[in-house]
Amino acid sequence: MMRIWGICLLLASVQALPTKHLNHNATEEQEQEQELEEETSHWNGDINLQYIQRIESYMQPEQDACHDFHAYACGNWKSVHGNVSTMSLSGSHIDQRYVHLFERLLREPQASEHRLPMFPKLLRYYQSCLALDKPRLRHYLDHLPPRSTDHWMELLAILGRYGHHEHYIRITVAHHNASRHIIFMQAHVHELKMTLTPNIYFALRRHLDGDLPSLPDLRQQFKQLDATLYRLSQSESINSEEENFKTYTLNQLQQELPGLNWTHALQLKFNATYDGQHQVQVDELPQLRQLIDFLNQADARLLRLYSLSRFLQYLLQLPHNPLNNLVNNRAPSSVECVQHMRKTLYLGMNYAYEHIYYAKQRATDERIIFRVFEELKAQFSKQLRLNEFGLDANLLSALQQKVSGMAINIGNMPHNASEQFFREREQLWQATGDFYLNHFKSLLEYNAHQAEMERTTNATLKQLFYSFSYHGPSMQDNIDATPYFYCVSNIIIMPYAYVQLPFYHAQFWPALLYGDLGNTLGHEMLHTLDSFFVDFDAQGVQRDYGDQLRRYRQYVAGIECLNSTANITLNERTADFSGTRLALHTYLQTPMQRRQHGRLYFLQFAQFFCGQEADESHDEGSVRLNYTLSQMPEFAEVFNCTQGTPMNPVERCRFW
């Protein structure tokens, strides 16, 4: 149950974006940007008619909509865009806008933005990235602070400040619920192993002035260590009574695991003093005990070499580290530097985007999007009150509270943060001409901030930081490309990439507006009751609502029905099914409305799924679109589908 929050974000995104789509080269990006600009300049006149022409260009009207609606609505997509999804196009547009901004500021040293918070440091960081010519991994190691002892925990704690904590013992700060962070401890992550590449080896050798075993010897030693760590962190051999994760005070932990000085370890890692009553959560305590006993008597030098190598491997595996291009003898492009900065300087980069691009449309967007959001919420509450599953009053009331308490954040910025707030945050990090140092400072700042959130009693700070989802440097791209439900805070996050064409425009006719925005919000809202996230209450605390629901026959029948044809994850299917149903019941209520607006509404809904490939939590776009709409009798009505055709089956599922 506990491990659910770890995947909370990844599984919640409405549609994932394979990273490779964001990695195409600069020329492609520029062409796309030009294309987009040309389009938007046309669209200033009559956006809706222009946009409908575009939808038509993707259609294959000779296909039978009642047989395969995806082929009918998206049949021509690939001949126009190749294997690129709508999400990728939208994500590239955001990257290009950053490049335009930074290039303009470099050309215009007198521009007013140079006097705003964040901008000068962002620009310096950008330049340091563009200036990279050769990969010098050793610079990372040379920038590490000196250590006072040779103990494995000291180095581990230091590396942890940069967000690396995958080996030996994992000590992290996790966002726990809507108002709390917590320190979390776990054994060595045994799925990850050390691959000692020549680049890492030579960086290490230079850092240690040549004092190192040969590459094959060291590889062999690491391999043995990996195997031992793997064995010790496995759970099979251990009494299952003790396996579950638990909350301990530091005093209790010290008694259970006396092999380490825990107060000192946390002091080293988080640069703060924790008293004996401070609470931490621990998973796999018996494995931790075994690991600590082993590490305390192992060869200290080997442990150190392994830690440093794992650290370099971690840095190189962070999404969009530009050094990976250099390893292949290619200097990073401006787009690649921007992609890297969007990961590692999340707050600063979003601040810049808001200021330059989004602020001027925010008030209008909020008026429109919040209105649609409230309409959907009211409809959702109404449906829940019908209580089709016959739930008991307490459970129904708890689910109602989740729905009514759900918030939305457009752009994913701290809510109502002042200019002063950004000036203060800016003081906490530095940018120089040295890329390696800059990268380090940004990692330190993010991780120090997480630790601060766990300790702070500052109500203003808490209010700001619990109003959005602060992405770390290892966050996957898809999280910034599509709206998602953030379960611990009960918030729907709508990234900048969504609030633009083709998904959304403030002047869209209602059929176009609800066709995407209504369905997307509906999908995200239904994640609150999907088979994973239903267990989080309105404050993000884990409960047993899922277990309670499974006592109701009709609920179980609904789940089994949705799960009866192959799909990648049930929670995405339930959000597709029920979210689409919710949007339909909110917007297309009467037969007259369906006759007048139904076709355009469903065609706009389809745009989202054109060119979409499957990923670890979502089926392919064609499967999702066709399955979901075949479950909606309103679709068959609008397209006059004969009963028994694939899009108008005789039997349908019943769910939320």
User: Using the rule CB under 5 A, is 17 a contact of Zn ion?
Assistant: no
Judged by CB, which is closer to Zn ion: 192, or 568?
A: 568
Minimal distance, residue 493 CB to Zn ion, in Å: 12
CA pair distance 378, 611, nearest whole angstrom: 33
Pairing of strands 279-282, 484-486: unpaired
Q: HSE (CB half, 13 Å, CA atoms) of 305?
A: 29
User: Using the rule CB under 5 A, is 137 a contact of Zn ion?
Assistant: no
| Position of minimal CB gap to Zn ion | 14
Residue with tokens 């200036």: 131
Minimal distance, residue 560 CB to Zn ion, in Å: 20
| Residues 365-404, mask of contacts with Zn ion (x by CB under 5 A) | ----------------------------------------
Minimal distance, residue 180 CB to Zn ion, in Å: 25
Judged by CB, which is closer to Zn ion: 151, or 527?
A: 527
Minimal distance, residue 526 CB to Zn ion, in Å: 8
> What totals of helices (H) and strands (E) does the chain contain, helices first?
31, 7
CA distances from 293 to 188, 288, 300 (A): 13, 9, 13
Candidate segments 7-15, 238-246, 349-357, 391-399, binder of Zn ion by CB under 5 A: 7-15
Minimal distance, residue 384 CB to Zn ion, in Å: 19
CA pair distance 549, 655, nearest whole angstrom: 12
Candidate segments 6-14, 241-249, 402-410, 411-419, binder of Zn ion by CB under 5 A: 6-14
Judged by CB, which is closer to Zn ion: 323, or 479?
A: 479
Judged by CB, which is closer to Zn ion: 340, or 624?
A: 624
Edge-to-edge strand list for the sheet holding 279-282: 169-177, 180-187, 279-282, 246-249
CA pair distance 180, 457, nearest whole angstrom: 10
Sign of CA dihedral 188, 190, 192, 193: positive
Listed residue (437, 428, 160) closest to 271, CA to CA: 160
Phi then psi dihedrals of residue 326, to 5 deg: -65, -35
CA pair distance 621, 610, nearest whole angstrom: 6
Judged by CB, which is closer to Zn ion: 14, or 345?
A: 14
Minimal distance, residue 363 CB to Zn ion, in Å: 28
Contacts of 355 (CB under 8 A, 6+ apart): 113, 116
Minimal distance, residue 530 CB to Zn ion, in Å: 8
Judged by CB, which is closer to Zn ion: 575, or 582?
A: 575
Candidate segments 93-101, 109-117, 155-163, 573-581, binder of Zn ion by CB under 5 A: 573-581
User: Using the rule CB under 5 A, is 315 a contact of Zn ion?
Assistant: no
Helix H or strand E encompassing 579? helix 570-587
Judged by CB, which is closer to Zn ion: 32, or 528?
A: 528
Candidate segments 173-181, 205-213, 456-464, 566-574, binder of Zn ion by CB under 5 A: 566-574
Residues of span 168-227 touching Zn ion by CB under 5 A = none
Minimal distance, residue 4 CB to Zn ion, in Å: 15
Q: What angle do CA 165, 168, 172 make, to 5 degrees?
A: 30
Minimal distance, residue 477 CB to Zn ion, in Å: 16
Q: Total binding residues for Zn ion by CB under 5 A?
A: 3
Sign of CA dihedral 499, 504, 508, 511: negative
Judged by CB, which is closer to Zn ion: 465, or 656?
A: 656
Report whether 73 contacts 58 (CB < 8 A).
yes
User: Using the rule CB under 5 A, is 481 a contact of Zn ion?
Assistant: no
Q: HSE (CB half, 13 Å, CA atoms) of 647?
A: 25
* Angle between helix 621-630 and 591-607 (nearest 10): 170
Listed residue (389, 398, 438, 462) closest to 654, CA to CA: 389
Minimal distance, residue 435 CB to Zn ion, in Å: 36
Judged by CB, which is closer to Zn ion: 391, or 521?
A: 521
CA distances from 656 to 116, 379, 399, 491, 559 (A): 48, 12, 12, 20, 10
Candidate segments 12-20, 206-214, 394-402, 586-594, binder of Zn ion by CB under 5 A: 12-20
Binds Zn ion by CB under 5 A, chosen from 14, 153, 292, 338: 14
Judged by CB, which is closer to Zn ion: 284, or 619?
A: 619
CA pair distance 268, 151, nearest whole angstrom: 12
User: Using the rule CB under 5 A, is 406 a contact of Zn ion?
Assistant: no
User: Using the rule CB under 5 A, is 8 a contact of Zn ion?
Assistant: no
Candidate segments 318-326, 377-385, 567-575, 619-627, binder of Zn ion by CB under 5 A: 567-575
Judged by CB, which is closer to Zn ion: 287, or 520?
A: 520
Judged by CB, which is closer to Zn ion: 14, or 74?
A: 14
3-state per-residue secondary structure call for 380-426: HHHHHHHCCCCCCHHHHHHHHHHHHHCEEEECCCCCCCCHHHHHHHH
Minimal distance, residue 523 CB to Zn ion, in Å: 6
Binds Zn ion by CB under 5 A, chosen from 8, 156, 157, 575: 575
Report whether 494 contacts 444 (CB < 8 A).
no
Minimal distance, residue 10 CB to Zn ion, in Å: 10
Minimal distance, residue 402 CB to Zn ion, in Å: 16
Judged by CB, which is closer to Zn ion: 15, or 321?
A: 15
User: Using the rule CB under 5 A, is 356 a contact of Zn ion?
Assistant: no
Judged by CB, which is closer to Zn ion: 537, or 572?
A: 572
Minimal distance, residue 86 CB to Zn ion, in Å: 16
Report whether 579 contacts 524 (CB < 8 A).
yes
Listed residue (416, 431, 453, 472) closest to 127, CA to CA: 431
Interface residue list for Zn ion (CB under 5 A): 14, 572, 575
